[in-house]
Structure 1
Amino acid sequence: MIDLNNPQYFLNREWSWLEFNNRVLYEACEEDKPLMERLKFASIVTRNLEEFFMVRVAAINKQNELETGGSSPDGLPPAEQLMGIMARVRDFYKKLYGEFDKKILPELLQAGVKILTDPADLVKYQDYLKHIFQNRIRKVLTPLSVGPTHPFPRLNSGRLYIAAGLKRGPEIPDSIELTDLSFVEVPASALGRFIKIEDEETYFPLECVIKMFVGELYHGYSVEWVSQIRITRDTDFNVDTDAASDLLMRIEEKIKTMHMRDVVKFEYEKGLPDTRLKELVERFDVVGDSIFQIDSLFDLGSLMEIYMSSSRNDLKEPQIKPVYPMEFQSRDIFEVIEEKDVLLYHPYQSYDPVVELIEKSAEDPDVLAIKLTLYRTSSRSAILKGLIKAAVNGKYVTILDELKARGDEERNISAARALEDAGAHVIYGIANLKTHTKALMIVRKERNGIRRYCHLATGNYNETTAKLYSDFSLFTCDEMIGEDISQLFNLLTGFSLPNKWNYVAVAPIDLREKFLSLIRRETENAKNRMNARIIAKLNTLLDKEIVQALYEASIAGVKISLIIRGGCALKPGLKGISENITIHSIIGRFLEHARIYYFYNGGDEDYFLSSADWMTRNLDRRVELLFPVKSKESRAIIGKVLDIQFSDTANTWILNSDGSYALRKDKKTRDSFKEIEEYIDKKEDKARREMEKKLEFKPIRNLEKGL
């Protein structure tokens, strides 16, 4: 009897995620990739790692401090996990900065793009930079010196500071407090991280310019040394939600105290005196061994600013032009959805129909109500404007605004207030649960009664990420699904449990059991010598019970094919356990964000889309939605996308049983991103030709013969 609780059958969650970030780093190292794209991926991996420290490292630090003796499913205690994380992060930084300093920067310079950090290079532009410093930068700088009446400052997480060692000059009077240590925040949020020469591709990091002229901030002192420093704090927080009416205020209070949370990572520049390094580490109470010396440009995440501002499109991938779906081009959107379900795959297909559906509903006199879940929205959101307009126009607008969406708390609070001011009813979710589902329902009065139009998605209502993430959108007015979504909103707004779901499953009510029952059905079919198949595409697979169910299915003979972009706890290819499981990871042009779940079901195939990954937090601590894809045409689209992605040989990594990944190689290169773009283009071209054919004028009879 195989004990599926054995830790040796599980990969470590944190180390698996770091493997994922290494696969993203590979994109920055690909020499045949356009230079600006490599710069972009260097930015992405840095931002990824920053969030990993803020959330995962912070959580494991807390576990370690509690000394509860607990361990992860793979059996590693927190202290051992932290040691492994730090060793891997040091290797990661070595590879990242080796690529950036020795390859990306020199190759950009050769291509005519200068990112100048060496003081010897900056001296050539001294007059220009001094003008910029005196007229723009200096005006927003505030030195924070340490002295008898100036306590050691609490520096903000993720911001760059110049630390300066000072020596008093003779002109400082005795009446002025003395200091030998001061900090200056680099005002990147106000001025941008880089100064760009107009009409040139020459960039100067703001901190390098400040360091050139930092002496001008400290008249009467000589500057003995300067060093950049940067701290990262624990930014994951729980909010006591016993008093739901105070939730918005409580989250605002939490945001205001972010600068007081634990320091989980400390970065400093070479040249910081050892005594000062020790003092800063003690003052900031840096947890563990998370101290890193950076001998290059700090915070490569800000390189995205250069990518976005650069006019060198010849150094970038050609921009995809999302195709506007033919179904919506010449007909009323409500008529189309009433006639059939429509499935879109973004960003290959335009996100505009989603925005237009909300905008049209805001103006349509027959629309009675709009209900929507808001998790992460974009700045200057057209969706938000449409919802505000609908409320102003007297529609019943109800918004579930998830204030606890990490990193978007302030933006969601702002959205909540704007919606409330317009007359919308805004609620903040269910206590102790994050609402992660993506659902829109429009209630419309029509000749035959009240009809519910639904939009269900795997991605957020965010027009910006809809251009960067691959996600599915399903438009439907299926009566039974509409009833389910209506019950979902009643649950969110009125805490009313559903009588029963017709087609959907919702976490944390029954989604876990739904997934397990679907997996176990395939297991039983395999035991009965029937064909059995599971295909899934998701972001992360970490839930222990799901992993065990998949092992049981594999042992029974179920063929399981998974595409998992990020972390994975399951070990494929274990003899007698997971030999029937293969796991691919696709990293490339777009962030693979869609969640697809397919079950063969004895030939009566089931296709589902979901907001949920196979993670414990998704199944037990969030409101998530699993919904079926019923139409033959929509299923064909999903099937084609999966076929293309499983055939990819240009962007695919294969997970080995030891947790390592191998880049898939083949004589014939197949790029799933390009093939899907071509597939969508051909599909829409075919639809256009069919529509044109329907619109052709065809005479009923030959008039000449009839005369």
Structure 2
Amino acid sequence: MEQSPEVASAVTEHVTSPFLNRELSWIEFNRRVFEEACDHANPLLERVKFFAIWASNLDEFFMIRVSGIKQQISAEVQKQSPDGLTPSEQLASIRRALLPLIDEERRLLLDVLLPELREQGITLYNYDQLNPRQRAWVADYFQRQIFPVLTPLAFDSCRPFPFISNLSINLAAVIQDPHKGELFARVKVPEVLPRLVALPADLVEAHDADALGRHVGFIWIEQVIAAHLDALFPGVEVIESYPFRVIRNADMEIEEDEADDLLATIEQGVRQRRFGEVVRLTIDDSMPERIAHLLQTNLKIGPTDCYTVRGPLALTDLMALTRLDRPDLKAPIHVPVLPMALRGGVDIFEVLRNGDVLLHHPYHTFAPVIDFINTAAEDPDVLAIKQTLYRVGSNSPIVRALMHARELGKQVTAVVELKARFDEENNIIWARALERAGVHVIYGLVGVKVHAKLSLVVRQEQESIRCYAHLGTGNYNAGTARAYTDLGLLTCRPEITADVVDLFNTLTAYGRRDEYRKLLIAPVTMRRHLRRLIRREIERHQLAGDGHLIFKMNSLVDRGLIKELYRASQVGVRVDLIVRGMCSLRPGVTGMSETIHVRSIIGPFLEHHRIYYFHNGGESDLYLGSADLMERNLDRRVEELFPLEDPSLAHFVRHNILASFLNDNVRARILLPDGRYQRLRPGDSEPCDSQAPERMIPEGKEAETRK
């Protein structure tokens, strides 16, 4: 679906900057997630999942992006964003964009999702909706399970305003003391207890719409606490209580040059994260102005940092509903399969000596990656295993495979990135476990994050050593491999594995390479080579008129490479961009980006792989890897892009995977020049769903990935 010339012309006339604002582009991305929660084509609990993801994304946006802008304002930094906004102007634009979205959020929850859940036998009660029997049970539950955990904190002339931790839900209690008058206290809702308190089945009202009699009921724990606050304040009267929630700056700044022990520094930073500056206060719309003012004053924020909402706070907790045993309200179960080449108990090393194997998750199972390490551990001819770890999850089979390899006498090295945001604590746990097992652990590098996805096996074969490698676009995380789309390559191509060896040597020692044989490595060669490949496509197009670039990534905000894409468009190169999240490139602008088309795919699976295709007159180059086109990825992280050199695998990625994304009319949105997105619909055309499993694995007909 193309934009009409009239709309494109009208938008182009009002373009004041060649770049879209990064923060507003992110809000547009999260709006697309929100739209999935609104879409009745999705099963009900899938819509609830998208709703919880929208809320979680928004929390992280305030913790990281908004907090960074507020720090610039505090430091009186007046540096403008690429689209010409000062930090104060960006903050105002963010609030203007979010306020109507938050209103939509509340309408969707209160007027649509909760009523539809109730019709399906899933009821989220407010306390005032409970009948006498339910209230009696709730009162007993409060005394047994909640009351012993609570700690009310008073605020008066003798006691300072209590610290409000990041992401916590709290009750502002107003007390009437016969001797002291009106007092204020804060009660924190304990995070160690379920947010949604499940009522016994025999107390939940059945509904006619639930023909199978499956009905469950929950009540918000903060409402249970609010209804029983008198128990916490004997001898005085609780006259009012209002929920509120705080979000703080969670972006740690680590002075690595001054840290003798990076592990201890990261641990301290994780503990201090909850003490950051407040960047958002959310209050219930019933809260009177005097209480809101008291909170704002003591949290040291202004009215523009305060968001007033109807209904419950912290909507990320609705994700708990997706764990209910209601397959009738969920998407069909996805069952990943083994690649054809690895079926039947084959020797993986022999398979790789005969050719590369491409894994496409979640359509392919993650098991071959784990088996690759476990097989190497068991193989008497394997000498060493080397591995990068960024986000591995809480129960990591990859880490256990590495420890198993060490137990069996292999030399094992793990580069664990302790600075992986919000995974620091988990990575510290695994780093210590690996060290106890005897693994040589490297805690990342000073000044950069190690984001590359690499695994290397060194094997003695006859009179020589052969190396095998897995290179990927996603983390070594078995959990996310079931939900994120990623590509991985198993190979023993000598030039690629030699590059992997050299890269590990730079990560574990002091060496530095200025060039690699096959891999594009950030921050050393990647930016330069991507620029060269784009310019080669420009030159080719000027000669033959067949220039074509297809890039798929999570985010596109690097101004240098955006300018290169603009140059390509200005000579007529067709540029197709598939960007899930933020995109600062402004497509479809006359004289600047007329041949650039940008689309975003949002669906049940999180689009995560990075693919870079250069047509080159039919002698195409296709790179996969870990890097988005962002300044941080290209200049401040260790990233890898690797070529897909097997012609059949490259053909599949270009003509099946990329083609499906470019033809998608079910999940795709098209970016307009003004930064808005337009949803595509099949209409009279045949539907093309780029996340349909049969499109995404070579042996699709026999995969049987849904049941």
Q: Same fold (TM over 0.5)?
A: yes
* Amino acid paired to 1:103: V
Is 2:685 the counterpart of 1:683?
no
Q: How does 1:219-234 map to 2 (within 5 A)?
A: 219-234=234-249
Structure 2 distance, partners of 1:265, 1:489, is: 42
* Number of the residue aligned with 2:264: 249
* Change beyond 3 A, Cα 1:637–1:448: farther
Structure 1 distance, partners of 2:199, 2:651, is: 51
Structure 2 counterpart of 1:319, from 324, 333, 358: 333
Contact 2:171–2:187 (8 Å) recurs in 1: yes
1:678: how far off? Answer: 5.2
* Number of the residue aligned with 1:134: 143
1:288: how far off? Answer: 6.7
* Change beyond 3 A, Cα 1:686–1:91: closer
Q: Which moved more, 1:94-103 or 1:128-137?
A: 128-137
* Number of the residue aligned with 2:185: 182
Structure 1 counterpart of 2:664, from 639, 643, 648: 648
1:252: how far off? Answer: 1.2
Structure 2 distance, partners of 1:248, 1:34, is: 44
* Change beyond 3 A, Cα 1:179–1:508: farther
Is 2:397 the counterpart of 1:394?
no
Contact 2:693–2:700 (8 Å) recurs in 1: no
* Change beyond 3 A, Cα 1:280–1:440: same
Question: Counterpart of 1:72 in 2: which secondary structure?
Answer: coil
* Change beyond 3 A, Cα 1:505–1:314: same
Is 2:429 the counterpart of 1:426?
no
* Change beyond 3 A, Cα 1:322–1:85: same
Structure 2 counterpart of 1:573, from 588, 592, 595: 588
* Number of the residue aligned with 1:155: 164
Q: Which moved more, 1:588-597 or 1:194-203?
A: 194-203
* Number of the residue aligned with 2:76: 67
Contact 2:694–2:701 (8 Å) recurs in 1: no
* Number of the residue aligned with 1:352: 367
* Change beyond 3 A, Cα 1:66–1:674: closer
Structure 2 counterpart of 1:659, from 675, 684, 695: 675
* Number of the residue aligned with 2:49: 40
Contact 2:250–2:273 (8 Å) recurs in 1: yes
* Number of the residue aligned with 2:207: none
1:72: how far off? Answer: 0.9
Structure 2 distance, partners of 1:98, 1:512, is: 45
Question: Counterpart of 1:472 in 2: which secondary structure?
Answer: strand
Structure 2 distance, partners of 1:11, 1:285, is: 32
* Change beyond 3 A, Cα 1:686–1:125: closer
Structure 1 counterpart of 2:393, from 363, 375, 378: 378
Contact 1:547–1:570 (8 Å) recurs in 2: yes
Contact 2:603–2:691 (8 Å) recurs in 1: no
1:158: how far off? Answer: 0.7
Q: Which moved more, 1:140-149 or 1:511-520?
A: 140-149
Contact 2:362–2:483 (8 Å) recurs in 1: yes
1:210: how far off? Answer: 1.3
What's the C-alpha RMSD, in Å, of the aligned pairs?
Answer: 2.0
* Number of the residue aligned with 1:343: 358
Contact 2:360–2:696 (8 Å) recurs in 1: no
Q: Write out per-residue CA displacement over residues 643-675 of structure 1, whole angstroms, 9 at most, x where no aligned residue.
A: 111111111100111111111133225242453
Structure 2 counterpart of 1:535, from 527, 547, 550: 550
* Amino acid paired to 1:668: S
* Amino acid paired to 2:195: R
Q: Write out per-residue CA displacement over residues 191-215 of structure 1, whole angstroms, 9 at most, x where no aligned residue.
A: 2211223554212221121112121
Q: Which moved more, 1:397-406 or 1:255-264?
A: 255-264
* Amino acid paired to 1:185: K
Q: Which moved more, 1:116-125 or 1:520-529?
A: 116-125
- Residue segments in structure 1 that go unaligned for 5+ positions in a row: 1-5, 171-176, 689-707
* Amino acid paired to 2:262: L
1:682: how far off? Answer: 4.2
1:287: how far off? Answer: 5.7
* Change beyond 3 A, Cα 1:642–1:271: same
Q: Which moved more, 1:192-201 or 1:631-640?
A: 192-201
TM-score for the superposition, normalised by structure 1? 0.92
Structure 1 counterpart of 2:155, from 146, 149, 165: 146
* Number of the residue aligned with 2:195: 193
Is 2:493 the counterpart of 1:493?
no
Structure 1 distance, partners of 2:181, 2:272, is: 29
1:148: how far off? Answer: 4.7
Q: How does 1:488-637 map to 2 (within 5 A)?
A: 488-498=503-513, 500-637=515-652
Q: Write out per-residue CA displacement over residues 555-586 of structure 1, whole angstroms, 9 at most, x where no aligned residue.
A: 11111111111111111111122111111111
* Number of the residue aligned with 2:465: 450
Is 2:473 the counterpart of 1:464?
no
* Number of the residue aligned with 1:479: 494
Structure 1 counterpart of 2:277, from 255, 258, 262: 262
* Number of the residue aligned with 2:209: none
Structure 1 distance, partners of 2:688, 2:101, is: 27
* Amino acid paired to 1:317: A
* Amino acid paired to 2:241: V
* Amino acid paired to 1:652: A
Question: Counterpart of 2:274 in 1: which secondary structure?
Answer: helix
Contact 2:246–2:278 (8 Å) recurs in 1: yes
**Among the aligned pairs, what percent are the same residue?**
39
* Change beyond 3 A, Cα 1:371–1:178: farther
Contact 1:641–1:676 (8 Å) recurs in 2: no
* Number of the residue aligned with 2:689: 672
* Change beyond 3 A, Cα 1:183–1:362: farther
Question: Counterpart of 1:571 in 2: which secondary structure?
Answer: coil
Structure 2 distance, partners of 1:409, 1:686, is: 37
Q: Which moved more, 1:323-332 or 1:15-24?
A: 323-332
* Change beyond 3 A, Cα 1:679–1:511: closer
1:602: how far off? Answer: 2.3
Structure 1 distance, partners of 2:689, 2:510, is: 43
Contact 1:226–1:271 (8 Å) recurs in 2: no
1:366: how far off? Answer: 2.1
Structure 2 distance, partners of 1:163, 1:122, is: 26
1:530: how far off? Answer: 4.1
TM-score for the superposition, normalised by structure 2? 0.92
Structure 1 distance, partners of 2:350, 2:363, is: 23
Structure 1 distance, partners of 2:79, 2:460, is: 56
Structure 2 counterpart of 1:95, from 104, 113, 120: 104
Structure 1 counterpart of 2:343, from 329, 350, 354: 329
* Number of the residue aligned with 2:313: 298
Structure 1 distance, partners of 2:694, 2:491, is: 24
Question: Counterpart of 2:434 in 1: which secondary structure?
Answer: helix
Structure 2 distance, partners of 1:169, 1:328, is: 77
* Number of the residue aligned with 2:7: none
Question: Counterpart of 1:253 in 2: which secondary structure?
Answer: helix
1:356: how far off? Answer: 1.5
Q: Write out per-residue CA displacement over residues 425-463 of structure 1, whole angstroms, 9 at most, x where no aligned residue.
A: 111111111111111111122224211111111100111
Is 2:297 the counterpart of 1:282?
yes
Structure 2 distance, partners of 1:350, 1:412, is: 24
Structure 1 distance, partners of 2:690, 2:147, is: 46
* Amino acid paired to 1:11: L
* Amino acid paired to 1:231: V
Q: Which moved more, 1:85-94 or 1:661-670?
A: 661-670
Is 2:39 the counterpart of 1:25?
no
1:122: how far off? Answer: 6.4
* Change beyond 3 A, Cα 1:367–1:39: same
Is 2:219 the counterpart of 1:204?
yes
Structure 2 distance, partners of 1:411, 1:94, is: 35
Q: Write out per-residue CA displacement over residues 150-203 of structure 1, whole angstroms, 9 at most, x where no aligned residue.
A: 322211101111221112257xxxxxx999222222123x22211223554212
* Number of the residue aligned with 2:5: none
* Amino acid paired to 1:642: L
Contact 1:345–1:471 (8 Å) recurs in 2: yes
